[in-house]
Amino acid sequence: MKTQIESAAQGIVTKEMRHVALEEGVDAHIIRRGVANGEVVIMSHQHPIGIGRGLRTKINANIGTSSVAVDPELEVQKAIIAVKYGADTISDLSMGGDIVRIRRSVLQAVPVPLTTVPVYQTVAEHGSFRPITQEDIIETIRKQVREGVNSVVIHAGLTLKMLSMLREAQRVMGMVSKGGSLTSAWMIEHESENPFLERFDEILEILRARDTVLSLGNAMRSGCIHDIRDDPQSLEIRANAELADRANRMGVQAIIEGMGGHVWIGDIEKYVKYHKKIIDNRPLFVAGPLPIDVAVGYDHIAACVGASIASGAGADYLCYITPSEHLALPNLDQVREGTIAFRIAAHIGDSLKYGPSARDLELAKMRRRRDWKGQFELALDGERAREIHPQAKGCTMCGEYCALELMDRYLGVDL
Amino acid sequence: MKTQIESAAQGIVTKEMRHVALEEGVDAHIIRRGVANGEVVIMSHQHPIGIGRGLRTKINANIGTSSVAVDPELEVQKAIIAVKYGADTISDLSMGGDIVRIRRSVLQAVPVPLTTVPVYQTVAEHGSFRPITQEDIIETIRKQVREGVNSVVIHAGLTLKMLSMLREAQRVMGMVSKGGSLTSAWMIEHESENPFLERFDEILEILRARDTVLSLGNAMRSGCIHDIRDDPQSLEIRANAELADRANRMGVQAIIEGMGGHVWIGDIEKYVKYHKKIIDNRPLFVAGPLPIDVAVGYDHIAACVGASIASGAGADYLCYITPSEHLALPNLDQVREGTIAFRIAAHIGDSLKYGPSARDLELAKMRRRRDWKGQFELALDGERAREIHPQAKGCTMCGEYCALELMDRYLGVDL
C-alpha cells in the first residue's frame, strides 16, 4: 500500500484527495500538491479529512481516563458529544482502566480520526518507568497502529541536552506537557537518550505500513504567560522540523505540535508565523494557546481568544481546551462547551485566513428577516440557540421596540 | 459645584482623582491631566471610577426589562450578580414596568455607576412616537439626572442626512442600535432633525449641573460582519467627536461609543486605532465587537475575542455580551457568563496594553506549587474553579501522572 504522500509524490490523485477536495471546495490537484510537499496531511477513519494550508482549520477534542477517573462509557459519550458539536478528530489520552478496550469502543463509536499518545499506555501498563524497555515503547506503537489509530503523538524532538537546558532555564512552570514529562522521566530514569529519537526510523516504518500520521509532540511549550520562548523551546521546534522532513522523505505524513500552552497575547501571531516558517508550512497543531492564566474555570473562553489569533495567523489544527482545564477531566457539558468554543475559534481564524464566510452572511439575512428557524439552522449550535430563545414571546430583548422592526417600518429599507 | 473636567482644567486634583489614582496605581497628576484633556472620565456613584487612556479597561453590564419581560426583582439581582463578578458599571435599559422604580432599586442595590438611555423611558412611557415632544425628551434626561444616574447615552450624532444615506447604503442589517432606531423613528415621524442635537447645549447644562457623564451613542454600528464601515458610520463617528469636544469645552465629561456591533476580525484593531485617533483619544466604549455571526447562543465567547482585540488596540470600556444576545434578555447565569467573558477580554486587552500582569504570574506560581486555595483566590471566578475541581481526588486530569509532579521529581527544578 502506498501512503498518501507517496502517491502524491508520484502525481497520483487518490480517492481520499478527491474527497478532501470536495469537502473543502478546493481543486484535487491542489490537495495532491499540498500532500506531496508535506503542507497537507490526510487522516482517514470512516472518512478522510485534510489538515493543512489552504484548508478549513480543524479542531481536535481530547478525551480519556486518568489513573484516578475511570469510566469507559463516559469517555465514549464524550467522543460522541465532541463529534456532534463539531470536533474533526478525537484524541484518546486514557491512562486508567482497560485502555485498549476504551480505545476500541471510541474507534467504533465515532467516524472521525483517532489520535493517541502511545507513551501514556506504556507507562500506565507498567506503573513506573524503570521496567519499561525501549522495545516496550516501540511495541505499544506497533499495537496501536495495528488497532487502527489514525495518528500517534511522539515527543521525538526532545533530547537530554534540552532537559539539562531546562534545568537552567528561568521558567516558572518548568515542563507542562504530560507526554513530554513521561518521556523525560523515562530518559532520566534510564540515563538514556530519547527512545523515540533513537528508534525513529523503525517507528516511521511502522507508521508507513498503515499510513498512520506522525504527530510530533511539543514537550517544551510554556506553561504560563510569563514563561517566554527560551532555548529549549526553540531547539525542540527546529528538531521537530527536521524530524518531519525525515518522515516525509520516508513516505510518512507528519503534523507538528507547537506554539500551544500559555503565550502572551502580543506574541501569538508572531510565534505562529515564525513556527510555520521553520516547519516549511507543514501542518501546525496548537493547543490553545491561553493568553492569560487567571481564567481558571473559563479557560475555554480565554483559549478561544488565543486560538482565534493563532489560526488566523496560520495554525491549521487546534486542540480544544475545556472549562475544566487545569482542574479536572471534563464532563459531557464541558466537552460540549470546549468543542463549541474551538469551533468559534476555528471559524474566526478561517474568516481571517479566507475572508468573512457565506454562512455568516446567510445567518445575518435570516436575522434581518427574524427567521428564527433559519438562524438556528445556520448557528454553530442551533440547539443551544433554540433553548435560549423564548419561542412564545419572540425575542424578549427588545420586545415591541425591536430596532430591526422599527427600521423596516420607518426607513423601509428593502430586504 | 465644579465638574471633574472643570477642576482638572484649573489644575485642581480632586479627591475623586486621588481615589482613581490609587485604584489604578497611577500618579494623581496624570489622572488630572487625562481628565482635563478629555482622555479620562470619572464617574461616581458610591465610589469614583476612572475610564480612559492609561487605565485598566472597564466593563459594563446591561440589565433591564423589555416590554414583554418585566420582573423588577430579577433586574436588581442581575445588577448584583454582574457587580459580584466584576462589572465596573451597570446600564439599566428597562423599557417595561415601572422604569423609575426599577432604576431606583438598582441604584440602591449596587455601588457602581449607573448609565441609562433616556429615550427608552420616554418612548416606553408614551407607547408611540407621535405624541412625544422635544420637551418630553429633554424632561426625561432632566429627571434621570436628578435621580442620580451617573451617565446618559444620547444618539446626538445622528442626522436626517445620515438616515437618508442609510436608505441607500448596501447593508444587510440596516440599523441595529435600539437607541438609534428609537431616535430615528421619532425624527422620521416628526419630520424633524435630531432632538438631542437641536437641544444639545441645553442637555449639556443639565449634565454639567451634576457632573453626569455624556455618552455619545453609536446608532450606525454594523449589525453583521458583512456590513462594512460605510459613509453613515464614518459621518456619525466624526459628528460624535465634535460633540464630545463641545461637551468638554462646556465642562461636561464625555465617552464615545463606537466600533461595536459586528466587525470582521481583520478590521477590529485598525478600526479601533482609527476611531481613537478621530476622537483625540477620548474614552472609547465598545459593545463586543462580534467577529462572526454564527456563534448564536455563545455570542459572549465570540465577542470576548473581538473585545480582547479591541481593548488591546485601545478601547477603554467594553459593554458585555451575554450568551442570550440576539435571542432573549439574559437570565442570572447568562449575566454571570457574560460578565466573566468580558473580564477575560479586559484582562487580555490590558495584558496587551500594559504587559502580562502580576496576577497571572502569582497564579502560575500557585499552580506550580499545586496550591489550589491560592489559585482559587487569584482566579477571575474562584467560585467556579472550586466547583469544577474535585477536592477529594486532586486534579483528575493527570491523576498520578501530573507533569508538574514528574518534573519536580525528575528534574528537581527549584520552585
Residue B177, domain CATH: 3.20.20.540
> Best residue in B181, B300, B409 to probe A by mutation, most A CBs within 10 Å?
B181
B379 and A345: CB-CB below 8 Å? no
The count of other CB atoms within 10 Å of the CB of residue B81 is 20
Burial class (CB in 10 A: 0-12, 13-18, 19+), B102: buried
Q: What is the pTM of this model?
A: 0.97
Q: Is residue B45 part of a domain?
A: no
Residues of A whose CB is below 8 A from B223: 364, 367-368
Residues B227 and B90 in one domain: yes
Find out whether B375 and A299 touch, Cβ atoms under 8 Å: no
Contact assessment for residue B99 and residue B125, using Cβ atoms and an 8 Å cutoff: yes
3-state secondary structure of A254: strand
How much is the average pLDDT of B43-62? 97
- A42-46, long-range: CB < 8 A, 24+ apart: A42/A4, A42/A16, A42/A17, A42/A253, A43/A89, A43/A113, A43/A150, A43/A151, A43/A213, A43/A253, A44/A16, A44/A113, A44/A150, A44/A211, A45/A107, A45/A110, A45/A111, A45/A112, A45/A113, A45/A114, A45/A148, A45/A150, A46/A111, A46/A112
Same domain? For A381 and A404 the reply is yes
> Confidence class of residue B415 from pLDDT cuts 50, 70 and 90?
very low
CB within 8 A of A69, min separation 6: which ones?
A96, A328, A329, B393, B396, B399
Query: Is residue A275 located within the same domain as residue A396?
Result: no
Split at pLDDT 50, 70, 90, the class of B414 is low
C-alpha neighbours within 13 Å on the C-beta side of residue A289 = 33
B216 and B89 belong to one structural domain = yes
Mark out the alpha helices in A148-230 (DSSP H runs): 160-168, 178-189, 195-198, 200-209
Average pLDDT on A402-414 reads: 82
Of A175, A323, A407, the CB nearest to B175: A407
Pair type for strands B114-116 and B89-92 = parallel
d(CA B72, CA A279) in angstroms, rounded, equals: 58
pLDDT tens digits, residue range B288-334? 999 999 999 999 999 999 999 999 999 999 999 999 999 999 999 99
A331 lies in the same domain as A394: no
Per residue in B211-242, pLDDT (tens digit) is 999 999 999 999 999 998 899 999 999 999 99
Helix or strand (DSSP H, E) at A256: strand A254-257
pLDDT in tens, A3-54: 999 999 999 999 999 999 999 999 999 999 999 999 999 999 999 999 999 9
* CB-CB under 8 Å, A399 with B69: yes
Backbone phi, psi, residue A330, to 5°: -75, 150
Is residue B294 within 8 Å of residue A378, measured between CB atoms?
yes
Instruction: In whole angstroms, give the CA distance from residue B286 to residue B293.
Output: 17
B85 with B206, same domain: the answer is yes
User: Are A327 and A251 in a shared domain?
Assistant: yes
Any domain includes B46:
no
Instruction: Say how far residue B253 (Cα) sits from the centre of its chain.
Output: 16
What's the number of CA atoms in the CB half-sphere (13 Å) around residue B63? 32
- Predicted confidence at residue A407, as pLDDT, reads 87
Residues A5 and A147 grouped into a single domain? no
Q: What is the pLDDT of residue A386?
A: 95
Kindly state the cell numbers that stand for A265: 497575547
User: Residue B370 is part of which domain span?
Assistant: 358-411
pLDDT for position B54: 97
Q: Of A317, A332, A354, which residue is a domain's last? A: A354
| Domain assignment of residue A194, yes or no | yes
Backbone CA torsion sign across B260, B264, B268, B272: negative
| C-alpha distance from B376 to closest chain A C-alpha (Å) | 8
User: How near does any CA of chain A get to the CA of B102, in Å?
Assistant: 17
Q: Does residue A258 sit in the same domain as residue A128?
A: yes
How much of chain A is helix, strand and coil, in % rounded to 5?
A: 50, 10, 40
Instruction: Examine the domain organization and report whether B137 and B195 are in the same domain.
Output: yes
What's the number of domains chain A is made of? 3
DSSP string, B386-400: HHHS-TTTS-TTTTT
pLDDT per residue as tens digits for the range B101-133: 999 999 999 999 999 999 999 999 999 999 999
| Residues of B in Cβ contact (< 8 Å) with A162 | none
Model pLDDT, residue B275: 96
- What does A22-75 look like in DSSP terms, one character per residue? HHHT--HHHHHHHHHTTSEEEEESSSEEEEETTSPPEEEEEE--BTTB--HHHH
Model confidence at B413, in pLDDT bands (50, 70, 90)?
A: low
What's the pLDDT score for residue A415? 42
- The reply to whether A247 falls in a domain is yes
The reply to whether A362 falls in a domain is yes
Best probe of the B interface among A192, A293, A334, A415, by most B CBs < 10 A, is: A293
Using the predicted structure, report yes or no on whether residue A380 has a pLDDT greater than 80.
Answer: yes
Q: How far apart are CA A330 and CA B338, in angstroms?
A: 21
Give a yes or no: residue A44 inside a domain.
no
pLDDT over 90 for what percent of chain A?
91
Domain for residue B44, yes or no? Answer: no
Angle, CA B289 vertex, CA B287 and CA B290 arms, to 5°: 130
CA distance B14 to B28: 9
Show the cell assigned to B15.
Answer: 479627591
Position B62 in a domain: yes
pLDDT at position B79 is 98
Residues of chain B positioned with their CB less than 8 A from the CB of A226: 356, 360-361, 364
ipTM of the complex: 0.97
Asked whether residue A322 falls in the same domain as residue A364, the answer is: no
Question: Are residues A257 and A392 located together in one domain of the fold?
Answer: no
Q: How far apart are CA B286 and CA B224, in angstroms?
A: 15
Grid coordinates given for B171:
447593508
**Cell (9 digits) for A404:** 430591526
Cβ A10 vs Cβ A36: under 8 Å = no
